[in-house]
Amino acid sequence: MKKIIYISCLLLLLMAGNAFANINIIPKPHYLKAGTGQFRFNGATLVAASKELSDEARLLADMFTTVAGYSLEITKKEKSADVIFRYNPTLKDELGDEGYKLNVTSDKIVIEAAGKAGAFYAVQSIKQMLPVEVAGYYPVPDVKMSIPCVEIKDYPRFKWRGYMLDCSRFFPSVDRIKKHLDIMALYKLNTFQWHLIDYQGWRMQVMKYPNLTKIGSQRDQTIIRQRGKVDYEDKTPDNGFYTQEQIKEIVAYAAERHITIIPEIDVPAHSIAAIAAYPELSCTGEPAKVRELKVGGMSNVFCPGKDFTFKFIEDVLTEVFELFPSQVVHIGGDEVKKEGWQKCEHCSKRMKEEHLEDYDELQSYFIKRVEKFANKKGKTIIGWDEILDGGLAPNAMVMSWRGEKGGIKAAKMKHQVVMTPHHDLYLDYVQSKERENEPYVAFANVLPLERVYNYDPVPEQLTDEEKQYIVGAQANMWSNFINTPAHFEYMTYPRLCALAELTWTNQEDKDYSEFQNKLEKQYQRFHEMHVAYRRHDK
């Protein structure tokens, strides 16, 4: 009899272990308890939802249309439903707007959330527990659409879980951006910083200044830097920009996935594409050309001594604000070479009028003037940590990229901070010390997957009060070396999965070995989605 009981208990443990082995959710949930058995979806599965969560219920119902050939039926009667979306505002204090409870038994799924985002993330957890074929684009009628029984209580560590894509140097299509937004949503990332302008191209249509796209989005060719070789000219014209209708389409697509798009209009540097279109924006007013080399900076920047510069920026931002509903707009502010300002009579006159002592203060004046306009329009600016130079604008957020020093300084000044130190979160860095074995060219700095995963955005130097100003972290994909969609994807995945877990999961709950095991399932999912990725073996 004891032997039978022992064997029965062992079988139950094995079943629970197998169930847990099938739960490969990234980012790791705050609380997860594996059960026994499975819930199976089929064409007869009924879904009920509170009216507040009806969109998320429809998202789940439609998930099976392509791969399984059926969509789940929506019913108003919770008692007869197999899957229940339940709006529960009392959970807000415990889990926030993005948290959720998910209880899966063999005969019922119950999702509870205080907000639409929480219910959406519960659906993403369900999607990750389903067979990887669900991520694909073709029917798989023979695959059983089952998920393990489990109890999950989950919420994010940070409110800013971001990713930046540089679309100036490498110009991806609308469909490519949508595909990437889908993957971001799957891993519960909620902020997409859209780097729309730089030396190599102006990518946003601005109605008041048509030359920005007529001239600024065009470059005669691209000078490509190769590893250990002489740069070569590809002799191929590069052009392209997003129309305002396309921008609206992408913004709406992201919003449906609870992703906020933060536009970046970089000033006063990284602006040669605009100066090529309107030379009077520079100190000299001389004709300029959109930069062909993808790497390196330029000293030809916007002139803060000319009133036209600020009129131009305000006109552009007015159209930006109409297109992007986000509270925050990124204004750059980084890598400003001031040699031109030092020779400019307009800048000298401005400094005298404003009683500015040096050129760092002139840069600060520039940023503060832009912020004043943005605040008047109800917007908050965020900039790279150089905006601290010469004095930080009163209400600005800071994105700390030159290490953590700028972020620490801003947090101590009680300004909100997004951590994005280049040595931990720049995805254009090579992924292995064996650089010659990597299939694509990248910056020489090494950023392995493990370093991304282990990064903690909250510096120990801060007090408990100051730590509250660290609102999240962001990985940045600069496209200085990117030439194809596969190259971009290879550099991004799966390091973006590591970013997702470090911004969602509490630091003490992370486990890199466990994360590596979960990646095996993600690699299969990437394959189904036709996404290029770099495999990181244990």
> Do 216 and 288 meet the contact criterion of CB atoms below 8 Å apart?
no
Three-state secondary structure string covering 386-427: HHHCCCCCCCCEEEECCCCHHHHHHHHCCCCEEECCHHHHEC
Distance CA 265, CA 268 (A): 9
Catalytic residue list:
198, 270, 335
What is the Cα–Cα distance from 318 to 337, expressed in whole angstroms?
27
Strands (E), 260-352: 260-267, 328-332
Which helix (DSSP H) or strand (DSSP E) does residue 120 occupy?
A: helix 116-129
Residues with Cβ within 8 Å of 132's Cβ and at least 6 positions away in sequence, in order, are: 521, 524, 525, 527, 528
b/e string for 351-376 if b means 16 or more Cβ within 10 A? beeeebeebbbbbbbbbbbbbebbee
The dihedral through the CA atoms of 337, 339, 340, 344 has a sign that is: positive
Q: Which residue has the tokens 């280049």?
A: 422
Which residue from 465, 504, 414 is spatially nearest to 100, judged by alpha carbons? 504
CA angle 325, 328, 334 (to 5 degrees): 135
Listing DSSP states for 307-328 in one string gives: HHHHHHHHHHHHHHHHH---SE
Q: Spell out where 167-240 has E strands.
A: 191-195, 197-198, 201-202, 223-224, 232-233
Contact 283, 343 (CB under 8 A): yes
List the alpha helices (DSSP H) in 476-511: 485-492, 495-504
d(CA 32, CA 506) in angstroms, rounded, equals 14
**Token code pair at residue 532:** 């290029």
Answer whether 52's CB lies under 8 Å from 86's CB. no
Tell me the backbone φ, ψ of residue 48, rounded to 5 degrees.
-125, 150
Residue type, 338: K
Q: Which two tokens stand for residue 370?
A: 């832009």
Cα–Cα distance between 50 and 53 in angstroms, integer? Answer: 5
Among 429, 389, 428, 427, which Cα is nearest to 405's? 389
| 220, HSE (Cβ side, Cα atoms, 13 Å) | 8
